Amino acid sequence: MTQMTAPHAPITAEAFADEIRNYLLTEQGVTPQEATVKDVYVATAKATRNHLVPAWAKTRADMVKGNTKAVGYLSAEFLLGRQLRNSLLDAGLSEQFSKAMAELGFDANEVVFSEPEPGLGNGGLGRLAACFVDSLASLGVPAFGYGIQYQYGIFRQEFDDQGRQYERADYWLTNENPWGHTDYNRDVRVNFGGSVQEKDGKRVWVPDWSVRAIPVDYLVPGYESGRVNTLRLWTAKAYHEIDLRTFNRGDYYGAVHNQIQAEDITKILYPEDSTPQGKELRLQQQYFFVSASLHDAIRTFYPGQEKPDLTTFPTKITFQLNDTHPVIGIPELMRILMDEYGYDWDTAWDVTTRTFNYTCHTLLPEALEVWPADLIGKLLPRHLEIIRKINENFVKLLSSLTDDQAKIDRMRIVTEGDNQQVRMAYLATAGGSHVNGVAELHSQLLKDVTLRDFNDLFPAKFTNVTNGVTPRRFVRIANPRLSDLITEGLGTDSWVSDLSKLEGLVPLADDDEFVHRFAEVKRANKRDFAAFAKERYGFEVNPNTMFDSMIKRLHEYKRQSLKILAVISRYASLKSGQTKLEDFTPRTVIFGAKAAPGYALAKETIQLINNVSRVINNDPEVEGKLNVLFPWNYNIELAQNLIPATELDEQISQAGKEASGTGNMKFALNGALTVGTLDGANVEIRDRVGHENFFLFGMTVDEVEDLYAKGYDKGMSRQYYESDPRLKQAIDMVADGTFSNGDKSTYQNLVNDWLNKDYFMTLADFRAYVGIQAEIEKTYADEKTWFRKALLNTARSGYFSSDRSIADYLERVWLTGPLPEDEKLKSRED
Ligand SMILES: *Cc1c(COP(=O)(O)O)cnc(C)c1O
């Protein structure tokens, strides 16, 4: 039988060291003695990649030749994190790497850290896409991830001496990028602008300018599946580097203008905002990567065929739309089928609707992406025609299903009247087979609220797939000590590819010795984090305190302000002697969060956290008791270092606002207890780990709705401020300049918002939050109880593997599965 699995320990450490030496010499032109850490990183990356390439080629060949429908995951963001450790793990070279580094005289961690982190996403949505491609490959499912290689990813966050965030460009491609293979020979032309003309009774798009889309391929190895898929990220190039005629007229700038315009398309990742931005460049990005990807898929599955039978397209590949960003793919596939391949409307529509599925990531109706019809018309005139026709047909269909004219009007894909808008979520729902939310609660709210009319008429389209995270990166690699203990406890390491096996740890929660060792792992991880925080940020961290973390994008709905107000209240009560120092559980409170550059209240919150940290950390009266850290530039690296060391995880969003969350899953798997609201996937985490092992507080979705109905955001929050002395004291301290050297204006917007609007009900949930914190301290005081609960969190969180999410998509949405093993594939071909 041919070897299809990248074998474990394919070569010895000595041989691997030789390969690295060879790359150093032949590609970097240096000897190991001359080599820098960065040289060694690049050479190691190339040597590792080389071990994966045969399985990559074979996976592609099997996919094209075989009969297994592939998955195309279309996403504007892939927040990959560093690649080296993950690739080593999947190539079966982790141990050889450690030894080879020792042999070459380099520190393995330094080599790993010298890789720039590709930050091609804002947060959860982009990280989800990265976890999903990892799981697809690990399950052996033939798949493409399709997206954009931004030249600048998510900005680098730094803080100034006032504690304010400022943004620096993330120029992650300054050095050689050994993972991305730029394939100039598989470029695709993407057109824009112009007009639609009538030719021989047919509508023909005559575009005005085009851009060259060039694929940069990243290998996506599976863990022990022997499969390596492709993540194809597109980069934009001009067709003509400079316009010689313009150049010769002496207009140097004008001569390169086209090039600049074309290459701007993939220049920068848009920072996430609470409302989607109507930026023309963003629409260009969306169309650019989707059009290139659809053409690429046709070329891949019908190689060399001039007149392919595209009615079979939905049996070759199914596309998942990760939020609305790639939804322009629906009219684009219609256009390709009709205008490029001559199919009639009905055939094209049948193929298209069987090809796409849509994942919705939001709940707020106002956060659903819309584009002005005028803008689409200017950039993509033929697509606007197609969208209008889709809308017209859809309204006809609705009229045949219901007499409720108001409902039909609400459901229009293109709004009527002046300033017509195209509603991308509606286009996706009408033009695809399935729509899913990302946690049980979220999917229910989608059906009941956000897309209610659609659910009324097309209930079969709606389903749920609860998010997950990859256990390879977020347990096996991030937490080697815990991984070893789990493997020992279970007597096998098969949990890495089947996380439901963690259940087998449940009986060990009654084994005091095992619980003790679980606690020792956490303590060692805390010491590691303290060392990392010292080295990377210059922080003094006392590992003999409770590590309490809140890391996620800064958003009002996530309510970092609830946590910082509770910290201030804590501090005040220590200072006033209300809380005796000896009764106090020493804590290190850790925040990590970036704010969208234009989001003023979020930025003010960051400034407040930094200055609370400064005041508390410099107050000798609370030294060793309370410490607040805000490591800047929260990214995957920080997540991988902090999560294994965290004991208390904060998931305190306003109920009904967090679609799922995936940070919550990473923490539970790594043995942190969660303090959280009944929101997103918290609900399912709590049900699985056991209600007694989760610190629940705060209002429910229904209670939130009731409070809005009473007019909460029209001034009611002030009543909470007036009636809770602790809350009043904390807010007063923010207002009176305690955290701004006496300046009362610094946090004016934040204070005003709390007292007059507080849309996300921070004040209303404050009392419950402070109450649960007291309970947390009581539990923490008894180490055995705490770590027993922590162990049960790990043991019962196997469900939150992204492997399980992918299995759910395969069953409920994509209706496909893994590539068969070699032998079966051969017999089918015979
Ligand atoms: C997991 C992750 C997120 C998502 O966190 P949530 O708490 O679910 O919002 C965001 N950013 C990074 C770097 C992550 O690893």
Measured from the CB, is residue 639 less than 6 Å from ligand 1?
yes
C-alpha pair distances (Å), 737 with each of 76, 603, 620, 718, 748:
42, 17, 20, 20, 10
- Name every residue whose Cβ is closer than 8 Å to that of residue 103 and which is 6 or more positions away in sequence: 13, 14, 17
pLDDT digits (tens, 9 = 90+) for 5-62: 444 558 999 999 999 999 999 999 999 999 999 999 999 999 999 999 999 999 999 9
Identify the active-site residue in 266, 359, 662, 794. Answer: 662
Shared domain check, 541 and 527: yes
Q: Which residues of 426-451 are buried (b: 16+ CB within 10 A; e: fewer)?
A: bbbbbbbbbbbbbbbbbbebbbeebb
User: Coil, helix or strand for 297?
Assistant: helix
Residue 817 has pLDDT above 60, yes or no: yes
**Alpha helices in 746-797, H assignment, sequence order:** 748-756, 762-781, 783-795
Maximum distance among all alpha carbons in the chain? Answer: 88
Q: Are residues 186 and 299 in the same domain?
A: yes
Ligand 1 atom at minimum distance from 635 CA: 13
Amino acid, res. 283: L
Among 477, 662, 684, say which to mutate for ligand 1: greatest number of ligand atoms within 8 Å of CB: 662
Which residue's CA is the closest to the ligand 1 atom numbered 15? 636
Residues 337-361: pLDDT tens digits?
999 999 999 999 999 999 999 999 9
Reported as a pLDDT band with limits 50, 70 and 90, residue 2 is very low
Q: State mean pLDDT over 201-223.
A: 95
Residues 111 and 153 in one domain: no
Q: 241: pLDDT confidence band, cut at 50, 70 and 90?
A: low
Query: Which of 423, 553, 555, 789 does the annotation list as catalytic?
Result: 553
pLDDT of residue 276: 65
> For atom 7 of ligand 1, which residue has the closest CA?
663
- Closest by Cα among 208, 239, 188, 210 to 381: 208
Q: How far is the CA of 809 from the centre of ligand 1 (A)?
A: 21
Q: Is 553 a catalytic residue?
A: yes
361 catalytic? Reply is: yes
Phi/psi-derived region of residue 825, left when phi > 0, alpha when psi is between -120 and 50, beta in every other case: alpha
Mean pLDDT score, 74-84: 98
For residue 638, give the ligand 1 atom closest to its CA: 13
- pTM beyond cutoff 0.95: yes
pLDDT at 252 over 90: no
156-159 vs 165-168, strand pairing mode: antiparallel
Q: What would the pLDDT profile of 385-409 be if each residue is shown by its tens digit?
A: 999 999 999 999 999 999 999 999 9
Residue 413 lies in a domain: no
| Strand residues in 306-410 grouped as ranges (E) | 317-322, 356-359, 370-372
For residue range 602-614, what is the model confidence (pLDDT) as tens digits?
A: 999 999 999 999 9
Dist. CA 412–CA 373, nearest whole Å: 13
Encode 608-620: b = buried (16+ Cβ within 10 Å), e = exposed.
bbbbbbbbbeeee
Kindly state whether residue 556 falls inside one of the protein's structural domains.
Answer: yes
Q: Select from 326, 346, 367 the last residue of a domain.
A: 326
Helix (H, G, I), strand (E, B) or coil at 151: coil
User: Looking at the structure, do residues 62 and 171 belong to the same domain, yes or no?
Assistant: no
Regarding whether 722 and 698 lie in a shared domain, the answer is: yes
Active site residue 666: yes
Answer for the pair 747, 739: CB distance below 8 angstroms, yes or no. Answer: yes
Strands 202-206 and 165-168: what pairing? unpaired
**In degrees, to the nearest 5, what angle opens at C-alpha 209 toward C-alphas 204 and 213?**
105
**Spatial separation of the C-alpha atoms in residues 100 and 105, rounded to whole Å:** 8
Q: Is 530 within a domain?
A: yes
Domain contains 375: no
Q: Where are the beta strands (DSSP E) in 404-545?
A: 421-423, 435-437, 462-464
d(CA 685, CA 695): 11
In the block, tokens 């098969």 appear at 494
- 47 and 181 fall within a common domain: no
504 alpha carbon to ligand 1 midpoint, in Å?
28
User: DSSP class of residue 738?
Assistant: T
Q: What is the rounded distance in angstroms from the CA atom of residue 128 to the CA atom of residue 120?
A: 12
Average pLDDT over residues 744-752: 98
Catalytic residue among 335, 383, 558, 804: 558
User: Considering only CA atoms, which residue is closest to atom 12 of ligand 1?
Assistant: 123
Is there an atom of ligand 1 within 6 Å of 663 CB? yes
In the chain, what percentage of residues exceed pLDDT 70? 95
Phi, psi for residue 637 in degrees, rounded to 5: -60, -50
Torsion (CA) 790, 796, 801, 807 in degrees, nearest 10: -170
How distant, in Å, are the alpha carbons of 306, 372, 394, 644 from that of 388?
30, 13, 10, 51
Q: State the Cα–Cα distance between residues 800 and 662, nearest whole angstrom.
A: 9
Q: Residue 366 — very low, low, confident or very high, per pLDDT cuts 50/70/90?
A: confident
Matching residue, tokens 């690429």:
296
pLDDT at 582: 78
Helices (H) and strands (E) in the chain, counts: 34, 22
Ligand 1 close to Cβ of residue 123 (< 6 A):
yes
Is ligand 1 within 6 A of the CB of residue 124? yes
Q: What is the residue with the minimal CA distance to atom 11 of ligand 1? A: 123
The answer to whether residue 733 is domain-embedded is yes
- Report pLDDT digits (tens) over 630-652: 999 999 999 999 999 999 999 99
- 661 close to ligand 1 (CB < 6 Angstrom): yes
Select which of 666, 688, 789, 796 is catalytic. 666
CATH number at residue 616: 3.40.50.2000
Instruction: Tell whether 487 and 532 lie within a shared domain.
Output: yes
CA contacts within 13 A on the Cβ side of 709: 6
pLDDT at 235: 98
Domain boundary (326, 349, 378) is at 326
Shared-domain flag, residues 563 and 542: yes
Q: Do 103 and 152 sit in the same domain of this protein?
A: no
Q: How far away, in angstroms, is 601 Cα from ligand 1 center?
A: 20
Nearest CA to ligand 1 atom 6: 663
Q: Is 552 a catalytic site residue? A: yes
Is residue 349, in this structure, part of any structural domain at all? Answer: no
**Counting atoms of ligand 1 from 1, which one is nearest the CA of 651?**
7
Q: Which domain holds residue 678?
A: 471-810
- Segment 263-285 shows an average pLDDT of 85
Q: Alpha helices, DSSP H only, in 491-629?
A: 512-537, 560-575, 600-617
Statement to judge: residues 30 and 158 lie in one domain? no
Within a domain: 579: yes
Rounded Cα–Cα distance for residues 672 and 694 (Å): 10
Number of domains composing the chain:
3
Domain check: are 112 and 123 in the same one?
no
For residues 712 and 641, state if they share a domain.
Answer: yes
133-157 pLDDT, tens digit each:
999 999 999 999 999 999 999 999 9
Last residue of a domain, one of 270, 292, 326: 326
Q: Residue 317 falls within a domain, yes or no?
A: yes
